[in-house]
Structure 1
Amino acid sequence: MKILHTSDWHLGRSLYGRKRYDEFSSFLDWLSTTIQDEKIDVLLIAGDIFDTGTPGNRAQELYYRFLCRVSDSFCRHILVISGNHDSPSFLNAPRELLRALKVYVVGSITEHPEDEVIVLKDEKNLPQAIVCAVPYLRDRDIRIVEPGETIEDKNRKLVRGIQEHYAEVAAIAEKKRKALLQQSNIKNPQSQIPIIAMGHLFTAGGETVDGDGVRELYVGSLAHVGKEVFPLSIDYLALGHLHVPQRVGGAEHIRYSGSPIPMGYGEAGQTKKVVTIEFNGAAPLIQELRIPCFQPLERIVGSLDDILSKIERLKTEKSTAWLEIEYTGAKIVGDLRETLEEALADSVMEIRRIKNKRLTDRVIHAIQENQTLDDLDVNDVFERCLDAFDVPDEDRVELTGSYKEIVKDLLEEDVNEV
């Protein structure tokens, strides 16, 4: 049995206003071809399929077209879990229909944890694997709010809630495996029916990069769980949320596949990957497959001469890159965009963002050094409000915590839920 692990597609995401459907389409075409060439039996998609809970028609078209194409290929099973960017009810809505295509969707936890434990069978109807398809666990799913809780209390309860949920579904999987082995009269080791788990969460020590759009899942950077949280019975754990491909705590069998295309210029230099896992009755053979770059991104920083020189070099190389340009020269250049557009006039390259630091510093005095308005997020704006109203330090921790709770609830609100 051969499995492919991918995640964090973020279908529908834009880059400074530029739609990226061509990139997404090229990736999904490459992935479906790879699944066929590699003879993949099971596809795991570990959350953040869409960039928002209300994806546009084109993003939905890409998703469903891909599922139809792969379900009609060598691949026998597709498992999809929700991520923090997904709407659980939106993903769940067509799940009964998709089940006919051997696509199993788990958008949210239910009252019955066994709903997340799925037995996969081969063409002879024999058990092939058991998957614990754990979706993104929202705060309210795993923690009961109590008055007077400290940040440390919340942290402990969140980690404990995650650990208990994985322990519960893994126990159900182990029980199912034991029963299946007895029914089949199989006396070989447990690896005959591997237990595979999925999840969408932030692990301790996880690597991120600036501008990747990975937001904290819980208030106060809480619940960065360690590998010890996951039951030892899990033979492979397919994780989503972090965009950098990586192992968790050095464990070969606990991995993030990472995002398939760079979500921002911080990811531009990354090698994007999917992970394949092959079970042949022994320890799994785990390999990484490199994803081609479908749209190069280039970030150029320096004086005007430096920038123009780099543009000329890229033109000589016949680059098709989308550019992020930061001007850091000493002189104020008021017509910077016009100058750069002229330099690119005979090129297919596009400028997606220009940061004119000198001009910005002159016009926007309230912004701190080395920052522009584009650098501020909702938390930065709140901090500026606290500064503007001279809120004492002793009041800021509680106010900031409450504010982040509100923002998190707004981001996680399932607008499709009736």
Structure 2
Amino acid sequence: MKILHSADWHLGAKLHGQSRESEQQAFLDWFLETLARVQPDILLLAGDIFDTATPPVSAQRQYYHFLYQAAQQCDAIVIIAGNHDSAAFLDAPQALLANMQIYVVGQAPQNAAEAVFALETKNGRAIVAAVPFLRERDIRCTQVGESLADKASAIADGVRQYYQQAAEQAQKLRRGSEPLIALGHLFAAGGKTTDHDGVRDLFVGKLGHLSATIFPQCFDYVALGHLHLPQMVAQNPRIRYSGAPLMMGFGESVSEKHIVQLHFHERQPIIDAITVPVWQKLRQLRGRQETVIAEIEALLNDEAAVWLEIIIEEGVFDSALNARLQDLVANTSVKILRIQQPSTQDFVAALSDTRQLYEPQEVFAQRLEKTPFNDVEKAQLTADFLTILQQVHDAH
């Protein structure tokens, strides 16, 4: 049995205002060709299919066209919602897609057993627990007066219990030695990210960074989404992020992108990576003005098609530099999407001891200490604030 695992497509995403629709379409076309070549039994998509909860029509069209074509190459497709996705939007055509053996779980069912599927393929059977991004309201009720430590522990316990309930159902459905697979979208503790890659903390204050121990050991493979760099979790080859197939920020410009391919030998996953081609090169140029200009001229001489982020690291702010650099690349295949000059860095450095670089709850706690409220009142106000903050976080 062959399985492919991918995630974090972010259809409809832009990079500093630049459309990526043609690049995303090139990936989807390549992926369909890969499906035709590999002929997997099951395709797993671990969330953040779209970049926003209200994806543009063009992104919706790409998604449904891909699913129609992919369903002809796979015996089953399982899709979960990520934190960027609208659970209701993904769930809307659920019944229709199920007729094509495409199983979608957008909103987490109250009963985790309802998110578990026994998939019959031409090469055997597999049990998949499709757990979407779990919002706080899916797994717990806010408690009055709880501390941040209590809140973090409660979130971890809620996620752990949900996966445990799904695992129990998966084990009930097992008839013999078929593999048990979990699909999830979360931030595993110790996971690697890059600057400006669009990866959001899933709960305020990094409370949702979860240990790999939340996954019951009965799962033979855990296919994760959310982090954009392909990686194992806690050095465990059975628990993996496939990573995003496209570079989501300039910090990823030196990383290779993958689709995970696996098959099972007596429930032991044999894992390989399929390298995703690069359709749009990204590059970050750093240094003094003259160094950066020389590097741009070299790219122009090579007729390179590349998008650039420019970071000027020394000197003083030059009001004419942005226009000069844009004129340099005008009517070429080189595009400058972002320019950062020293004044921006100096300004941020000057703010290093101000509230602007604190977490919101830290600012609230500092302000609360200066009020006349007693400890009980402060605890209630903190709980109310964290509830509101999480609601704002979920809405964005």
Counterpart in 1 of 2:208? 223
The CA RMSD over aligned residues, in Å, is: 2.7
Q: What are the superposed Cα offsets for residues 320-373 of structure 1, whole Å, 9 maximum, x if unpaired?
A: 111111223424422112211222135211111112224x57xxx9x333789x
TM-score (norm 1): 0.86
Which one of 309, 322, 339 corresponds to residue 324 of structure 2? Answer: 339
- CA 1:371–1:336 in structure 2 vs 1: closer, same or farther (change >3 Å)? farther
State the Cα distance separating 1:319 from its structure 2 match.
Answer: 1.2
Q: In structure 2, give the amino acid aligned to 1:27.
A: F
1:128-139 → structure 2 map (5 Å cutoff): 128-139=125-136
Instruction: Assess if the C-alpha contact under 8 Å between 1:236 and 1:254 holds in 2.
Output: yes
Task: Report the Cα distance in structure 1 between the residues aligned to 2:279 and 2:49, rounded to whole angstroms.
Answer: 18
Check if 1:157 corresponds to 2:137.
no
Task: Report the Cα distance in structure 2 between the residues aligned to 1:132 and 1:274, rounded to whole angstroms.
Answer: 20
- CA 1:197–1:394 in structure 2 vs 1: closer, same or farther (change >3 Å)? farther
Instruction: Assess if the C-alpha contact under 8 Å between 1:220 and 1:401 holds in 2.
Output: no
Q: In structure 2, give the amino acid aligned to 1:106.
A: V
State the Cα distance separating 1:109 from its structure 2 match.
Answer: 1.6
Task: Report the Cα distance in structure 1 between the residues aligned to 2:21 and 2:38, rounded to whole angstroms.
Answer: 25
Q: What are the superposed Cα offsets for residues 141-189 of structure 1, whole Å, 9 maximum, x if unpaired?
A: 1111111111111111111111111111111110111xx34xxxxxxxx
1:183-222 → structure 2 map (5 Å cutoff): 190=177, 193-222=178-207
Instruction: Kindly tell me the number of residue pairs found equivalent between the two proteins.
Output: 386
Which one of 156, 167, 170 corresponds to residue 170 of structure 1? Answer: 167
Q: What are the superposed Cα offsets for residues 7-55 of structure 1, whole Å, 9 maximum, x if unpaired?
A: 0111111111111101111111111111111121111000111111111
Classify the secondary structure of the residue corresponding to 1:325.
Answer: strand
Instruction: Assess if the C-alpha contact under 8 Å between 1:357 and 1:370 holds in 2.
Output: no
1:290-329 → structure 2 map (5 Å cutoff): 290-329=275-314
Q: In structure 2, give the amino acid aligned to 1:196.
A: I
| Identity within the alignment, % | 39
1:5-404 → structure 2 map (5 Å cutoff): 5-73=5-73, 75-123=74-122, 128-177=125-174, 180-181=175-176, 190=177, 193-345=178-330, 347-358=332-343, 360=344, 367-369=347-349, 380=357, 391=367
Instruction: Assess if the C-alpha contact under 8 Å between 1:135 and 1:200 holds in 2.
Output: yes
1:400-415 → structure 2 map (5 Å cutoff): 405-413=387-395
Task: Report the Cα distance in structure 1 between the residues aligned to 2:324 and 2:332, rounded to whole angstroms.
Answer: 14
Note the residue ranges of structure 1 that are not aligned, 5 or more in a row: 182-189
Q: What are the superposed Cα offsets for residues 194-223 of structure 1, whole Å, 9 maximum, x if unpaired?
A: 101100011111111111111111122113
Task: Report the Cα distance in structure 1 between the residues aligned to 2:324 and 2:314, rounded to whole angstroms.
Answer: 14
- Pick which of 248-257 and 348-357 moved more: 348-357
Classify the secondary structure of the residue corresponding to 1:205.
Answer: coil
Task: Report the Cα distance in structure 2 between the residues aligned to 1:403 and 1:20, rounded to whole angstroms.
Answer: 37
Instruction: Assess if the C-alpha contact under 8 Å between 1:119 and 1:127 holds in 2.
Output: no
Q: In structure 2, give the amino acid aligned to 1:101.
A: M
Instruction: Assess if the C-alpha contact under 8 Å between 2:8 and 2:244 holds in 1.
Output: yes
Instruction: Assess if the C-alpha contact under 8 Å between 1:134 and 1:199 holds in 2.
Output: yes
Classify the secondary structure of the residue corresponding to 1:110.
Answer: coil
State the Cα distance separating 1:108 from its structure 2 match.
Answer: 1.5
Q: What are the superposed Cα offsets for residues 265-307 of structure 1, whole Å, 9 maximum, x if unpaired?
A: 1111111111011124352210111111111111112222111
State the Cα distance separating 1:315 from its structure 2 match.
Answer: 1.5
Classify the secondary structure of the residue corresponding to 1:220.
Answer: helix
Instruction: Assess if the C-alpha contact under 8 Å between 2:285 and 2:308 holds in 1.
Output: yes
Task: Report the Cα distance in structure 1 between the residues aligned to 2:218 and 2:338, rounded to whole angstroms.
Answer: 48
Task: Report the Cα distance in structure 1 between the residues aligned to 2:257 and 2:348, rounded to whole angstroms.
Answer: 34
TM-score (norm 2): 0.90
Q: In structure 1, give the amino acid aligned to 2:309.
A: E
